[in-house]
Structure 1
Amino acid sequence: MNTIINFMKRHYKILLTIVVLSITLFAFNSNYKNEINSDKDKLLLELLTFVIEKGHYSPATIDDSFSKGVYKDYIQALDPSKRFFLQADIDEFSKYETEIDNQILNKDLTFFSLTYERLMKRMDESKAVYKTILEKPFDFTVDESFNTDYDKAPYAKNTTELNERWRKQIKLSALSSLTDRLKMQENKAKGIKEELSTEAGDEEGNHVNDGVAPVTKKEEVKYDEKPKTFDELEKETRESAKKSLDEYFSFMGDLNRNDWFSVFINSITARFDPHTNYFAPDEKERFDVSMSGKLEGIGARLQKKNDFTEISELISGGPAWRGKQLEAGDVIMKVAQGNAEAVDVVGMRLDDVVKKIKGPKGTEVRLTVKKVDGTIKIISIIRDIVEIEETYVKSSIVNKNGLNYGVIYLPKFYIDFEDKNGRDAGKDIALEVERLKKVGVDGIVLDVRDDGGGSLSTVVDIAGLFISEGPIVQIKSAGRRKEILFDKDKKIEWDGPLVIMVNSFSASASEILAAAIQDYKRGVIIGSKQTYGKGTVQNVIDLNQFVRNSAVGDLGALKTTTQKFYRINGGSTQLEGVSSDVVMPDRYSYLKMGERDIENAMPWDKIDAAEYTVWDKNTNFNKAIANSKNRIATSEHFKLIDENAKWIDSRSADNTYSLNLEKFRASQKEIEEKAKKYKPISQYKNDLKFASLPYETEQILKDNILKEKRDRWHEALSKDIYVEEALNVLDDLQMKSVTKQNVNTKKEKLVKS
């Protein structure tokens, strides 16, 4: 989940105490010069606890209760499916359950070292286990089952019991794959073509880097071959399972002691609140990329496949994409910096390969790659600034009932803290609004569904586009007076009908925006019953500033909660989120996934309201909300979505699976039959035609990747009942009826644009 970030440049006074007291930490220098890695870990422990206790909004007491929480979170993080540790290991670890607080304060690494070394030992033992299990065929006629509710499962008492758990776990995975293969072969006989697909970036060992998102890999099915026997298909499933586990253990093997220590550190920081966490140096770099949406490199998405690093996708507009020599599927064998000697990267961990490929703008990197056709080629690429298009705002136009509407999608409240002239969400939204005005839109939908937040300053800028002037959000720091952030610009970029779309994953900055628009009654908030419920502000603090000339290397950064924000009406969005003016059912309506469902989330509270004037130009405001509620209440499609959500919730408690082929297939068939009832949900079409704005249409002519992405987005919008209802609300918010003459005028204007 992305968070609201105010770097120290913006609220430096809040952390002044830390800066002053950091002088005492300079004494660390002589103690830690040229020391071994464990000394760096001890320093990190001391720094983290010091900074959190001095800078956190409401620091927790580091006592036995705190220790128990760290213990539980950490052990679960190390072995979430309970397939490595034995009960004897847990019994040994539990002796430290109430000692971790003392070890933290004394910089004692005994508990961490014990668990780390034991995990490495158990993982190494498990490699032989899964390989042995997959050497011979499974007997799917045996009547046995496996429960995947790992939270309630006990730890294995001995290696025999643990091996049996591995066997059942692998058998279930193989059974699921076998069932798919059998079904595809049956469908093949009926002339139906399908693909098996799995998602990369999961525990199967695939990992994506270079600052972007997971990739989907698809296993192709050949339809020109003869039907396979059951034994052949069963063998294929075991080979596939072995390949997945090989990749998983390859990925896990790439993790070093520092990576696991970060897990331990974050089990500590999370006990203060869910959004306080430690960034190792590499993680800090990835965080910066996610916030700014840009990086310096070649512009390629990479993934690990056993010992090899493969190009999975080129980023549109990046230097690799422009060069047209590198392509998806190429395997990187060596990397050279300019004219320097090439370094063999086969077997190297993915993060290290990425470090070698990334570099400052204008520098050269030479990649020795094995092409898809098997040839070896050396490709020279000059690094450049790469913008990750998926990070940034995008907009579309649509004609409905003779009126033109704009849909703006904001994936996150991004900002480049290092470059004031760089792109940020506030400036980009203002630009999109201006572009939409030029094509003569009659209303705007701002979509912040699934937007987990980002920069606080951009929220103020965006909200200010829709009001004259006034407060946007209130902020409170521990022991300090509240601060009110205002829109001080009287100019209104858009004074027409406005709808904000949210869902249960709209968090933090998204909630500030929705709350401000709702409090002013400036627009209608439409979406899930309530948003995520994150009402806290985090600062990212560079830990290296506290240690002068440190010999231990880069210490990374700490993101810690320093403030809480409040609506201008005084209420907090913490836990409660923002309640939609119009509630639309969705498939997650009954699942527990908000801040309120997290054990150590900060509490809800309230402060005095700020002074603000409610927008009085929406004469149809209440009528539009009432009309929308009536449409949703009488919509058979929304009723089906709500019924589907209840079914999904009921199925979430079903964790036991038969490992008998016939029973498993029967169970899957029963589920598929029930699921057929909800198939119309995914087949829905709203019959609206969405299009790019004129400036983007010109870009698409030169960029096939961008064209494909926009085509997919526009198709998704044309199947989105939620967007359709948002546009219905814009219809209801119109101040005047539409005559035939101005309908034709607007259509003509849109065409000319």
Structure 2
Amino acid sequence: MNTIIQFMKRHYKILLAVVALSIGLWSFMPKETADPEKDKTLLELLQFVIERGHYHPAKIDDAFSKGVYKDYINALDPSKRFFLQSDIDDFAKYETSIDDEIKSQKLTFFDLTYNRLMKRMSESKDFYKEILDKPFDYNVDESFNTDYEKLPFAKNTTELKDKWRKQIKLSTLSSLTDKLKMQEDFKNGVTDEKDNDKAKKSEKDLQSEAKLKAELLGKSFDDLEKETRETSLKSLNEYFGFIEELERSNWFSVYINAITARFDPHTNYFAPEEKERFDVSMSGKLEGIGARLQKKNDYTEITELISGGPAWRGKELEAGDVVMKVAQGNQEPVDVVGMRLDDVVKKIKGPKGTEVRLTVKKVDGTIKVISLIRDIVETEETFAKSSVIEKDGMKYGIIYLPKFYIDFENKESRDAGKDIAIEVERLKKENVQGIIMDVRDNGGGSLQTVVDIAGLFIDEGPIVQIKSAAGKKEVLYDRDDRIQWDGPLVIMQNSFSASASEILAAAMQDYKRAIIIGSKQSYGKGTVQNVIDLNQFVRGSNMGDMGALKTTTQKFYRINGGSTQLEGVSSDVAMPDRYAYLKMGERDIENAMPWDKIEAAIYSTWDKIDNYDVAIANSKIRIAANDKFKLVEENAKWIDQRDKENVYSLNIDKFKQEQAKIEENAKKFKAISNYKNNLLLSSLPYEQEAMAKDLSLKEKRERWHESLAKDIYVEEAVNILNDLQPAGAKKVANKKMLKEKVIKS
């Protein structure tokens, strides 16, 4: 191993990952000349670093080889529209020998798959051009199954070509029916818009709408049918244009990540360009619409909306939506199904102030076109913020923490631990009788900030246990006996609360210090990753940038000894959740590390809340009797059912009927988003002063309050805080608030 330094430097930071990167993400290195020797060195380097640095490195054997084989083939052709069964038969000869190739740095299997893929992709260009050259007959009674995972590879070219035909036909049919529906709505004057939404439209928006209306009303069925084929042709030409720009090394990154993912879902290789993008993302500044995306097979899915960004402000886009098409301003939309994630992101991003229109498939199956004006999403909106909530004479505080942030290199920068302490003090000055900590959708962050925040609510004691690869156990303590808040506390979580969020919730639950409410359980990520710059291990090489590796080096455990890995943190009060039945947690990821348990730390439970168990029992009774929660549960089951329906009719009449039925069923659940609670929300005094000078901040806080005012989960959190009040507290609070009102008047 003459190219490898014989020691591992320890100056890299500990980072807690949010979710596993899919090996199908197809984020590649920049175009460059193929360098097989560099690829061989990279294989050697990754094997060296993972085997010595990973928490529990998998044995590289035949079973490992089979896993790499399956993941890699799926990453190359997730929709099974390139390879034939004969290709798979050729590849399968290497199914149990990839481990040997890794150890000896051979590239035979990779070269075979790469060359065959290039050949099949070249052939496919002729397929789609021929298919789109003539009109589709939408009166034929046929269907297409989009459950690619269960479908076999095509036996021959004729079968493969027919699969392409049906895939393209489904795409154009969806677009055509959208246009026909819009045309019909224009004719009948139908609109879903409210009067206040119309009033917010600019003159430019109104002119664009009028132009679209005139164009649609003037087109025949044949015109629209031809238009959809032309759009599909343009999109596929662009897709294959991107493919032709990729080099061998780009596809080698896919192969490498198929290997790293077999160690665990959070061990990933960052090619040089990806590492740079990762560093930029850690700075907290995002440009575009303020949404995080991930690839799922051929589709691009919205995974998160960044607070304060255009998508968040628009309130139409939501996590789980699938982006089907992207249009720049008034231009024709481009189909992005099957496109690389990087290329979809490039189409969505753009200069501040420009418009992008996304055609999305909502989680309930409906199709919607959403217009957004791009903007810069400031780091400020990733910081903690708080507000006061009033109900029935009681005053409570809510603190929203989007992530556990800290800048290790700049001590003057903000960090979550200090910020939460400040927010608690501000709320105490407002005489709140309870606090809600909202860590929903919080994917994690700094371990140290978790300890600091948990320490605000207990006197002193252990917060989390950490175990290294060598079996060494470390307990992280809060050693400050000062308690910043000793009153009632509720922590809100959901199935996207991960890593550091789970440490906080678990610690507060083990101490019986807070009541945990939300989804049945949190995400279930109980591992710690290090990001390692691979260049530090290469001596005097002229091979260029080798990229970086994110690998799992530790596991963390609750103070009761149990791991949060896979199981997450179970809520004390489990609430109905729209996404409850969808597989989105760590437990649903293949090759995730197992749950286990270690010896519990020494700690004493909180003994200052007499009605802890009563509050939990009361909440469960309220939820079971609440009609809105019943509707959420029904909606969750319906979404789960829709997720399993993968066969679409390619007959236009039947397709319209199917879509109409979906839209009709979806109407029933609009009551969920239209819900209004009776909470009175207000910003803290310091923020009210800032809002008077900063209209942007004012808009952000108003939208946050608007969201909280429709949040049934926050309402129940307030009800729980009510139940946690000591005897007589409500009477005292009512008298105090009445006195304050008299003084103000």
Question: Shorter-chain TM-score: which interval?
Answer: 0.7 to 0.9
Structure 1 position 599 matched with structure 2 position 597 = no
Question: How far 1:402 moved relative to its partner?
Answer: 2.2
CA contact (8 A) 1:403 1:746 kept: no
Q: 1:146 to 1:714 in 2, by over 3 A?
A: same
Who is 2:213 aligned against? 223
1:430 is aligned, of 408, 421, 432, to 421
Question: How far 1:476 moved relative to its partner?
Answer: 1.0
Matches within 5 A, 1:159-308: 159-193=157-191, 222-224=212-214, 226=217, 228-253=219-244, 255-294=246-285
Q: In 1, distance between residues paired with 2:484 and 2:378? A: 27
Worse-superposed segment, 64-73 or 285-294:
285-294
Structure 1 position 395 matched with structure 2 position 386 = yes
Identical pairs, percent:
69
DSSP-derived class of the 2:730 partner: coil
- TM-score, normalised on structure 2? 0.79
Who is 1:509 aligned against? 500
CA contact (8 A) 1:408 1:445 kept: yes
DSSP-derived class of the 2:213 partner: coil
Worse-superposed segment, 624-633 or 406-415:
406-415
1:632 is aligned, of 616, 623, 636, to 623
Question: How far 1:463 moved relative to its partner?
Answer: 1.1
DSSP-derived class of the 1:737 partner: helix
Who is 1:408 aligned against? 399
CA contact (8 A) 1:426 1:462 kept: yes
DSSP-derived class of the 1:57 partner: coil
Question: How far 1:511 moved relative to its partner?
Answer: 0.9
Question: How far 1:696 moved relative to its partner?
Answer: 3.6
Q: In 1, distance between residues paired with 2:452 and 2:543? A: 41
Question: How far 1:410 moved relative to its partner?
Answer: 1.9
Describe the superposition over 1:651-682 as per-residue Cα deviations: whole angstroms up to 9, x where unpaired.
Answer: 32211111001111112222233333322222
Who is 1:125 aligned against? 123
Matches within 5 A, 1:635-654: 635-654=626-645
Q: 1:351 to 1:166 in 2, by over 3 A?
A: closer
CA contact (8 A) 1:292 1:415 kept: no
Describe the superposition over 1:560-583 as per-residue Cα deviations: whole angstroms up to 9, x where unpaired.
Answer: 111111110111111111110001
Q: In 1, distance between residues paired with 2:560 and 2:13? A: 23
DSSP-derived class of the 2:136 partner: coil
Q: 1:281 to 1:694 in 2, by over 3 A?
A: farther
Matches within 5 A, 1:566-585: 566-585=557-576
CA contact (8 A) 1:453 1:506 kept: yes
Who is 2:539 aligned against? 548
DSSP-derived class of the 1:738 partner: helix
Matches within 5 A, 1:290-329: 290-294=281-285
Question: How far 1:162 moved relative to its partner?
Answer: 1.7
Who is 1:742 aligned against? 736
Q: 1:125 to 1:35 in 2, by over 3 A?
A: closer
Describe the superposition over 1:79-105 as per-residue Cα deviations: whole angstroms up to 9, x where unpaired.
Answer: 111112222222222221111111111
Who is 2:294 aligned against? none
Q: In 1, distance between residues paired with 2:404 and 2:677? A: 29
Who is 2:469 aligned against? 478
Who is 1:528 aligned against? 519
Q: 1:420 to 1:43 in 2, by over 3 A?
A: farther
DSSP-derived class of the 1:395 partner: strand
Question: How far 1:244 moved relative to its partner?
Answer: 3.6
Describe the superposition over 1:159-181 as per-residue Cα deviations: whole angstroms up to 9, x where unpaired.
Answer: 22222111111111121222222
Describe the superposition over 1:196-222 as per-residue Cα deviations: whole angstroms up to 9, x where unpaired.
Answer: xxxxxxxxxxxxxxxxxxxxxxx9672
CA contact (8 A) 1:620 1:732 kept: yes
CA contact (8 A) 2:460 2:481 kept: yes
Question: How far 1:245 moved relative to its partner?
Answer: 3.2
Who is 2:139 aligned against? 141
Who is 2:551 aligned against? 560
CA contact (8 A) 2:561 2:597 kept: yes
**How many residues matched?**
639
Question: How far 1:697 moved relative to its partner?
Answer: 3.7
Question: How far 1:247 moved relative to its partner?
Answer: 4.3
CA contact (8 A) 2:461 2:478 kept: yes
Question: How far 1:386 moved relative to its partner?
Answer: 8.8
Cα RMSD (Å)? 3.5
1:722 is aligned, of 700, 710, 713, to 713
Question: Structure 2: which 5+ runs fail to align?
Answer: 1-8, 15-31, 194-207, 292-304, 310-326, 331-339, 356-375
Describe the superposition over 1:323-347 as per-residue Cα deviations: whole angstroms up to 9, x where unpaired.
Answer: xxxxx9799xxxxxxxxxxxxxxxx
Who is 1:456 aligned against? 447
Q: In 1, distance between residues paired with 2:185 and 2:547? A: 53
Describe the superposition over 1:258-313 as per-residue Cα deviations: whole angstroms up to 9, x where unpaired.
Answer: 33222211111111111111122232233334344248xxx66799xxxxxxxxx9
Q: In 2, distance between residues paired with 1:582 and 1:82? A: 43
2:488 is aligned, of 497, 503, 514, to 497
**1:544 alignment partner AA:** N
Question: How far 1:49 moved relative to its partner?
Answer: 0.8
Who is 2:152 aligned against? 154
